[in-house]
Structure 1
Amino acid sequence: MERIGAYAVERRLGEGGMGTVWLARSRGGRLLAVKVVRPELAADPGFRARFRGEVAAARSVGGFHTAQVVDADTEAAQPWLATAYVPGPTLAQLLAAEGPMGQDRLSALGAALAEALQAVHRCGLVHRDLKPGNIVMAADGPRVLDFGVARAMEDARLTATGTAFGTPGFLAPEQAEGLDVGPAADVFALGAVLVAAAGGSAFGGGTPVALVYRSVHHEADVSAVPEPLRPLVAACLDKAPERRPTTEQLLDRLGALAYGAEPAPATSYDLAPPRPRDPADGHAPSAGGYPPGPSGPAGGHPPHSGDPQAPRDTRGGAAAPGPYDTPGPYAPHSTPPPPAVVPAMPAYPPAARAAAAPPALPPSPYGPGAPIPPMGAAAGLPGAPEFLAMDRKNAVVLDPGGILLGTNGQVLSFPWPAVDVAWCEKGRGRGQVLVVALALRDGTLHTCEVGTRKPGELDAWIAQFDATLAYYSPEE
């Protein structure tokens, strides 16, 4: 029988961005999920160094709602990480089988996930890829997976492709732009997860590029969320990280809604938060990352302006876990709740909802979930390329539908038949600026400028723009 370290492999569970996940058994009979790194990542010394540090930090993550890291070998030919095996469907699978959650189940889910993220953040980690496919709905409540390798994977992908690690539709704006991320990025993803669990989609449907663009430039659609939760979820999806609630504030509000829990009293953690790690170990918080205390850079985030009952900054410990030892909000229902009726989004189409058969389920809670389709697949052109250049104010998108120019919040969309000539160039004398111009067949001219502070990104944008343009508008 094949072994990974001391563990006997029983079967393959799934495959994700980092590698393959195997179900294995210890010599004492305990089941583990062992994730083995892909050979190309294992050959990267930079990835190995990051992976080594992140695994060491992930070992310290506890809490009720995470899958505990129990073993790892970062020096093996193909490094691996073993976590406790948690049986159960993913949240994505549960929603496909049972339909959207009502207010009580949604509140309980949000409280459990906030508690899981709090445990991760207190160890100096940020998950960076919270989504329904990374949440296992176990018998005793939800568990969050894949928190131990997110930073190593993100840095590897940034190095390899220049794009942010994460899943479009759940990616915080600062993460999509390649900026420093902290715990607030996970709170943003939590808001998007709650919208999905309510039967909606925070940023509609379509291609990954379109979802990334909307997460930065469009307001989230929270209309599927029950009214009592809507202001809080909208606050989680605020574009500005400093205005999002903390996990402690979320626990106060969601715990009260789900279980009638009172805010927890102050704990020794609140009086003496953990000291940032030594920069020498490569994991010190960045300037835009972890706040100096559990409640944010200035001792707490301001309440969401649209919520008269905005979460309070009590600086308390985690709310008590729910009574999972009795049939609770996660127990299967014999009659699934009816799907929520979600109004169409004003600026872009909502995600398509299957009318008959549910979507295909991922093979395992430990796999990647529903895979992101190839570029252009959502528009019916498998493998068709897409282009995205974006800063905080402006954006340029090329996809199968045409060219989109976003300038200061105003979006203009031009289908390919309407475009006569399109070109791009470097802005003269203004730093790293991409200038895109379109001449339409009706004789009008439109331009857009996108800036970057990353060396080399401007040249990469120009090359990608020209290649994508050549695909859709080949020279005759």
Structure 2
Amino acid sequence: MPDQLPGVQPVPAGLTADDPREIGGYRLHARLGAGGMGVVYLAYTPGGRPIALKAVRAEFAEDPEFRERFAREVASARRIHGLFTAQVVDFGVDERTPWLATAYVPGPSLHEVVRRHGPLPVRTALLLVAGIAEALQVIHAAGVVHRDLKPANVLIAGDGPRVIDFGIAHAADSSALTGTGLRIGTAAFMAPEQALGHRVTPATDVFALGALVAYVAGGTPPFGPGPESTALYRVVHEHPDLSRIPAELRDLVAWCLAKQPQGRPTTAELIAYVHGHPAVGSRPEFTDGWLPRPVREEVGGPAPAPGPGEPGPASHAPTAMAATATAPAAPRPGGPAPRRGAPGGAVTAVTGGGAGRGVEGGEAFEEAGVG
């Protein structure tokens, strides 16, 4: 999407002549973004709530293997109902143009926030770790590995972060699609085992979270800018450059960026570490002061109102779902000492209702990295 002035919400682009006007019974209102896998549109539910509807590109829709994998990933995504994740609203995996609809939030992505406002304070970065780690717990408990956790895939709302696009990129990770040039993941935030084509695990996403925090707190990816091939080489063979991030975060980031998956913390250990960090204090919560003032003033604007004749779909009710929230583990004494063993499971508690104000924005399917 085009650059915006600081403090100004991204403005959805109008539909082009090539865009459909309706998908799955939902009337499309505007374009929110586009990338290698598809286009994201702003649409509305029958009751007027905004949604982000992601339509798969024709070249992927024509691939039977992609369709099968996309259906499996959507089925997994439907089981994910964390408070810091995108809520699936509806889907159409068998239609001519496969699509997935999630709730919408007008807040910017972390990539946009850092680009416009610079590195974020230590306390903000630590709270982001806790919120994103909780999102990853819910994602991993559903049997999904995100594979492309990066600043563009974390949206900022007034009450915390929202992780988007979990597991959907996995649908394109097949031999039938490798010849298209699509790389699953973003080099600057990719774990060594993923860069080498080895098996990915929840620890792969923890590595990406460490790289994300380094970017958020230091303003640049920990393995430096440059071509994708250079970043991949550094990820596999070199140590990260943590000189730009505050000293209070270096141990935590280095722990997440361990080359071997078994050396990284679990998501529960990350949450416990944040709760015990002196920069967070006695209230590790997403209260009014968790964001710097310029960012807080930018976050949380309302979605654009539908234009005349575009109140939402004439039919097609959204899928009803329960919601779950992850309970953090008890604080772990001693800080981030190296750990051996695969990450453990999540503890979940069922809560009532769906997502409150919406959790999806317009950067879905974007394949570009930062730096």
Relative to the length of structure 2, the TM-score reads: 0.72
Gaps of 5+ in 2: 1-19, 298-359
Choose which of 167, 185, 198 in structure 1 pairs with 2:217.
198
2:156 maps to amino acid? M
Task: Say if 2:253 is the partner of 1:233.
Answer: yes
What is the count of residue pairs matched by the alignment? Answer: 288
Answer whether contact 2:148 2:185 (CA < 8 A) is retained: yes
1:190 maps to amino acid? L
Choose which of 40, 44, 55 in structure 1 pairs with 2:63.
44
Gaps of 5+ in 1: 263-320, 336-363, 374-476
Within a 5 Å distance, the mapping from 1:42-441 to structure 2 comes to 42-155=61-174, 159-160=178-179, 164-199=183-218, 200-257=220-277, 322-329=284-291, 331-332=293-294, 365-367=361-363, 372=368
Answer whether contact 1:105 1:258 (CA < 8 A) is retained: no
Q: Distance in 2 between matches of 1:231 and 1:157?
A: 41
Aligned to 1:315: none
Name the structure where strand makes up a greater proportion of residues.
Answer: 1
In structure 2, the residue corresponding to 1:366 is in which secondary structure? Answer: coil
Answer whether contact 2:190 2:207 (CA < 8 A) is retained: yes
Distance 1:145 1:258, change over 3 A: farther
Shift of 1:28: 1.1
Distance 1:143 1:258, change over 3 A: farther
Q: CA deviation digits over 1:160-216, x for unaligned, max 9?
A: 358751111101111111111010110010010001001232111111110011110
Q: Distance in 1 between matches of 2:174 and 2:142?
A: 19
Distance 1:334 1:327, change over 3 A: closer
- Percent sequence identity is 46
1:121 maps to amino acid? H
1:227 maps to amino acid? A
Q: Distance in 2 between matches of 1:103 and 1:322?
A: 13
Answer whether contact 1:195 1:222 (CA < 8 A) is retained: yes
Answer whether contact 1:157 1:163 (CA < 8 A) is retained: no
Within a 5 Å distance, the mapping from 1:438-457 to structure 2 comes to none
Q: Distance in 1 between matches of 2:285 and 2:258?
A: 31
Answer whether contact 1:135 1:365 (CA < 8 A) is retained: no
1:188 maps to amino acid? F
In structure 1, the residue corresponding to 2:189 is in which secondary structure? Answer: coil
Q: CA deviation digits over 1:25-78, x for unaligned, max 9?
A: 011111100000011101111111111111011111111111101110000001
Answer whether contact 1:12 1:23 (CA < 8 A) is retained: yes
Q: CA deviation digits over 1:281-315, x for unaligned, max 9?
A: xxxxxxxxxxxxxxxxxxxxxxxxxxxxxxxxxxx
Deviating more after overlay: 149-158 vs 236-245: 149-158
In structure 1, the residue corresponding to 2:294 is in which secondary structure? Answer: coil
Relative to the length of structure 1, the TM-score reads: 0.57
Q: Distance in 1 between matches of 2:182 and 2:32?
A: 27
2:158 maps to amino acid? A
Q: Distance in 1 between matches of 2:296 and 2:153?
A: 25
Q: Cα RMSD between the aligned structures?
A: 2.6
Distance 1:368 1:69, change over 3 A: closer
In structure 1, the residue corresponding to 2:187 is in which secondary structure? Answer: coil
Shift of 1:370: 7.6
Shift of 1:141: 1.1
Shift of 1:323: 3.5
In structure 2, the residue corresponding to 1:92 is in which secondary structure? Answer: helix
Task: Say which one has the larger Rg.
Answer: 1
Q: Distance in 1 between matches of 2:169 and 2:59?
A: 17
Q: Distance in 1 between matches of 2:125 and 2:68?
A: 38
Distance 1:146 1:247, change over 3 A: same
Aligned to 2:342: none
Aligned to 2:333: none
Q: Distance in 2 between matches of 1:166 and 1:137?
A: 21
RCO (CA 8 Å, sep 6+): is it higher in 1 or 2?
2
Answer whether contact 1:73 1:81 (CA < 8 A) is retained: yes
In structure 2, the residue corresponding to 1:248 is in which secondary structure? Answer: helix
Shift of 1:259: 7.7
